[in-house]
Amino acid sequence: MEKENLFEKNKTNILNIQTHGSITVAQIDYSTPVIDNIISLHEAFEKKLIIVKELEKGEQVNTIELENISDSYIFILDGDILKGAKQNRVVNTSVLVAPKSKIMLPVSCVEEGRWSYKSSRFEPSNEVAHRSIRYEKANYISMSKKMNRSDFTANQSSIWGKVENISNDLEFHSETMNHSDLFENFTDEFDDIIKKFELQTNANGLLIFIGDDMVACDIFNNNKIYTDYFKKIIKTSAIDTKIKNRNEKLISLDNEKIIEHLNSVFDKFNASKKDVSSTPGVSEGVETRLNVNDITFYGLSHKLRSVHQSILTSNPKK
């Protein structure tokens, strides 16, 4: 079973712990066989190996067309934001796109106030949606899978609600309710925070803490994919330093406390394996999903090799 290769404590090694303000980042090495011919969405765009556009017929908010014209697998993270076309979208679930293939990519809108072309195709962004948006999507899809629904549709109104809540928390207004406008508005501050965290050479994953609350964990197949997402994940975590009362919560987390947190949350997954749902991914691989109280677990595996693992929690205490 694919779930047997996920969230294993004996495969996890904490390499580095860094703290700035209320954010603590613990970078980890998770032992898993590497998929050699895999590139990130960002690399695929840079090398012009991918075409992403609105559906030619019957345009839809929650589905767009993606074509992989390369000989490599392309990894896309749930939370990747695609800009342009008729409105900005966030990818609903992590996807491993097969070489030389075309798929219908499940997405949600993160720009409620626009439905008109800015460009003929989608373009990459330097942002990953805030973890509260990722949690909302993952939690909803996980519940849908438990009811044997085959699609990857999220609750669009809830996504718009999360985008609005984050903007309100930061006292920021976007004319089109565009989640990406928030990142642009605070570019200098977020860039300063990103500079405080140094990429660990051998890492392929990280744990994010806000104060002493573990709010997110992302583990990738290899260091190269992880490197492509490292700064983007730090940037979205920087949002929490702007939310009222969060930036005053200074907690020192040492290696022992990090291990305690990690073991505790991994144990929750392994104690509830009977409730796990395993279903085919959007393109390649098998998805594993589990909701436990306010935690949602996700795994994407391909031929028993972990492609992406994530743990997302509801908002920590303010």
The DSSP result for the chain, as a single string, is -GGGGSS-GGGEEEEEEEEETTEEEEEEEE-----TTEEEHHHHHHTT-EEEE--SSS--SSEEEEEE-SSSEEEE-TTEEEEETTS-EEESS-EEEPTTEEEEEEEEESBTT--S-S-SSEEEEEEE--HHHHHHHHHHHHHHHHTT--S----HHHHHHHHHHHHHHTT---TT-BHHHHHHHTHHHHHHHHTTS---TT--EEEEEETTEEEEEEEESSHHHHHHHHHHHHHHHHHHHHSTTTTT------HHHHHHHHHHHHHHHHHTGGG-EEEE-SSSSEEEEEEETTEEEEEEEETTEEEEEEEEEPPPP-
Structure tokens at 268: 């929750």
Between CA 60 and CA 63 the distance in angstroms is: 6
How are beta strands 205-210 and 213-220 bridged, if at all?
antiparallel
**What angle in degrees, to the nearest 10, is found between the helix axes of 156-169 and 131-146?**
160
Between CA 10 and CA 12 the distance in angstroms is: 6
Structure tokens at 237: 């975590």
Between CA 168 and CA 257 the distance in angstroms is: 33
Between CA 131 and CA 36 the distance in angstroms is: 29
How are beta strands 50-53 and 205-210 bridged, if at all?
unpaired
How are beta strands 80-84 and 122-128 bridged, if at all?
antiparallel
Q: Give the model's pLDDT for residue 243.
A: 79
Beta bridge partners of 63: 106
Between CA 210 and CA 318 the distance in angstroms is: 10
Handedness of CA 28, 31, 32, 35 (dihedral sign): positive
pLDDT tens, N- to C-terminus, the chain (318 residues): 456 679 999 999 999 999 998 899 999 999 999 998 999 999 999 999 999 999 987 678 999 999 999 999 999 999 999 999 999 999 999 999 999 999 999 999 999 999 999 999 999 999 999 999 999 999 999 988 878 777 899 999 999 999 999 999 999 999 999 999 999 999 999 999 999 999 999 999 999 999 888 999 999 999 999 999 999 999 999 998 877 555 555 667 889 999 999 999 999 999 998 899 899 999 999 999 999 989 999 999 999 899 999 999 986 554
For residue 69, which phi and psi values (nearest 5 degrees)?
Answer: -100, 15
Amino acid symbol at 185: N
Alpha-carbon distances, residue 151 vs 80, 178, 280, 282 (angstroms): 19, 25, 10, 9
